[in-house]
Amino acid sequence: MKFVDSRVRVRYAETDQMAIAHHANYLVWFEIGRTDLCRVAGTSYREIEERGMLLVVVEIGCRYVIPFHYDDDVLIRTSIAEAGSRSMTFHYELRDATAATLHATGFSKHFWLDRESRRPIKADAEVMKCFTPFL
Amino acid sequence: MKFVDSRVRVRYAETDQMAIAHHANYLVWFEIGRTDLCRVAGTSYREIEERGMLLVVVEIGCRYVIPFHYDDDVLIRTSIAEAGSRSMTFHYELRDATAATLHATGFSKHFWLDRESRRPIKADAEVMKCFTPFL
Amino acid sequence: MKFVDSRVRVRYAETDQMAIAHHANYLVWFEIGRTDLCRVAGTSYREIEERGMLLVVVEIGCRYVIPFHYDDDVLIRTSIAEAGSRSMTFHYELRDATAATLHATGFSKHFWLDRESRRPIKADAEVMKCFTPFL
Amino acid sequence: MKFVDSRVRVRYAETDQMAIAHHANYLVWFEIGRTDLCRVAGTSYREIEERGMLLVVVEIGCRYVIPFHYDDDVLIRTSIAEAGSRSMTFHYELRDATAATLHATGFSKHFWLDRESRRPIKADAEVMKCFTPFL
């Protein structure tokens, strides 16, 4: 199992006056993808925060190929590009419902922070082990 | 001084495919209005939270009269309908830049909560005194 | 069949610094509820717009009872309070995943507009017939 | 004049449960920056669309250095990295109110499309001339 698929449907509120999904929503969909990956990996992101860690975003990139329209089904395909105890990078593909057509690609890079001090930490070995099947 | 005026400009991201500002954003603008009123009153909402209180929303109402479009200037006119130590109600008018044309009206009702316990509390007398000029 | 149930999970982006779902998102969830109701009724909202009609929001109300938190499952229960050829009113309940606990109630009132002229019209008889089972 | 400065204040609705501005909002702020640059250049983005053109986003990148918090003043400094009649690239810096501290950098790449056909076009010479002072 090398990636996790999530599905969202484009909300009316997510469209803009070009009658397409506004590009900032893609980052929200990426976030859904990586939290679903964490869940499938056996450690929900909610649980990660409850253990006192944050996975903050330090870099984002997205290429927009084909727009999505209102009510379209969006397939979010999330994989791990790099899983370090200091930082992690996720990779995303946004596809149509059949997965045949690529609409966008992107990545997000993250640092592990201590939730209280907001300083960089090394992630829990137990959490990191969850990600092994995705490497 | 019975009301506070705030100004926002409709963001592209706030439009939807009807080519008008999506109606959920009005609640965000109301929030800007009441935090500006707090600031003018001499107690920023940031400070209210730092004192250990939350002003949570318990009811919202909005009537939409004339839509706003992308790049329109929005005048948010906020007043206090009720200021109790247990609950507060704000009233809002959204107008065009000249204030001549009414686009929407609304209200929000709030309870004071303790930030830690999330239980109802009586608001600080010092904070409540700030709101006196608006009553 | 008197109501339609939709499900969403609270997105990280939908939380605010009170660590609850921001109240403006409830309006977006209501919108998901009523478009799902339209779909179940046999006339997707996308199709309604393609027929040249808009169902614009003219009034919104929401009472917030229990907050939702990140990653919570939200059950959106949508029903029709009034279905006229001039205006429609939807009613909403937001509940936990089991439907046992009520978190919020709300309504939205709408006018039918012609998509081009943006003037009030009488809705298509064919569209209105779809809503009959919900009355 | 090589850049344009815009100012926004972090909205409560823009925070997340990390108690910082959610990273997707940075793209919305970039959008405010580039539409302000267009306005200063003498051609509002509203006008660009009225002329039948769209400036669609084809790529986005953002590096997050220091988070913003609720009620923070954000300075958006927008410049043009490339202005072609086929595509344009904007560059952004997000700074604190004094401009002294860098919080984030980013870019957005755009294609000019015909508003009706949604096909690539060459931008109006008149529009492009507006951008000359920024090159």
- Predicted structure pTM score: 0.97
Contacts of A121 (CB under 8 A, 6+ apart): A53, A112, A113, A114
Which among B24, B54, B61 has the least Cβ separation from residue C24? B24
Which residues of D make CB contacts under 8 Å with B?
A: 11-13, 27-28, 31-32, 35, 44-46, 70-71
Minimal Cα distance from B11: which residue of A? A16
Specify whether the backbone of B19 is left (phi greater than 0), alpha (psi in -120 to 50) or beta.
Answer: left
Our CA-based measurement puts residue B44 at a distance from the nearest CA of chain D, in whole angstroms, of 9
CA C77 to chain centre: 9
How far is it, in rounded angstroms, from Cα A33 to Cα B90? Answer: 38
Structure confidence at residue B1 (pLDDT): 57
Structure confidence at residue B66 (pLDDT): 98
Minimal Cα distance from B71: which residue of A? A17
Taking an 8 Å cut-off on Cβ atoms, the answer to whether D54 and A18 are in contact is yes
Taking an 8 Å cut-off on Cβ atoms, the answer to whether C19 and D22 are in contact is no
Could you say which DSSP state residue D120 is in? B
Minimal Cα distance from A11: which residue of B? B16
Q: What is the pLDDT along chain A (135 residues), one digit of tens a residue?
A: 599 999 999 999 999 999 999 999 999 999 999 999 999 999 999 999 999 999 999 999 999 999 999 999 999 999 999 998 899 999 999 999 999 999 999 999 999 999 999 999 999 899 999 999 999
Which among C13, C70, C71 has the least Cβ separation from residue A28? C13
Our CA-based measurement puts residue D28 at a distance from the nearest CA of chain A, in whole angstroms, of 7
How far is it, in rounded angstroms, from Cα C8 to Cα C31? Answer: 12
Residue B34 contacts residue B90 (beta carbons within 8 Å): yes
Tally B–D CB contacts below 8 A. 28
| pLDDT tens string D87-122 | 999 999 999 999 999 999 999 999 999 999 999 999
Structure confidence at residue B124 (pLDDT): 87
- B79 pLDDT above the threshold of 70: yes
Question: Rounded to 5 degrees, what are φ and ψ at B76?
Answer: -105, 115
Given a cut of 70, the residues of chain C with pLDDT beneath it are 1
Which residues of C make CB contacts under 8 Å with D?
A: 12-13, 15-17, 19, 22, 24, 70
| pLDDT tens string D27-45 | 999 999 999 999 999 999 9
Taking an 8 Å cut-off on Cβ atoms, the answer to whether B56 and C63 are in contact is no
Q: What is this model's ipTM?
A: 0.96
Minimal Cα distance from B114: which residue of C? C18
Structure confidence at residue D22 (pLDDT): 98
Our CA-based measurement puts residue C58 at a distance from the nearest CA of chain B, in whole angstroms, of 5
| pLDDT tens string A1-12 | 599 999 999 999
How far is it, in rounded angstroms, from Cα D84 to Cα D105? Answer: 22
Which has the closest alpha carbon to B36: B97, B69, B77?
B77
In chain B, what residues touch C28 (CB-CB under 8 Å)? 24
Residue B10 contacts residue B70 (beta carbons within 8 Å): yes
Residue D1 pLDDT grade (very low, low, confident, very high; cuts 50, 70, 90): low
How far is it, in rounded angstroms, from Cα B24 to Cα A15? Answer: 13
Our CA-based measurement puts residue B12 at a distance from the nearest CA of chain D, in whole angstroms, of 8
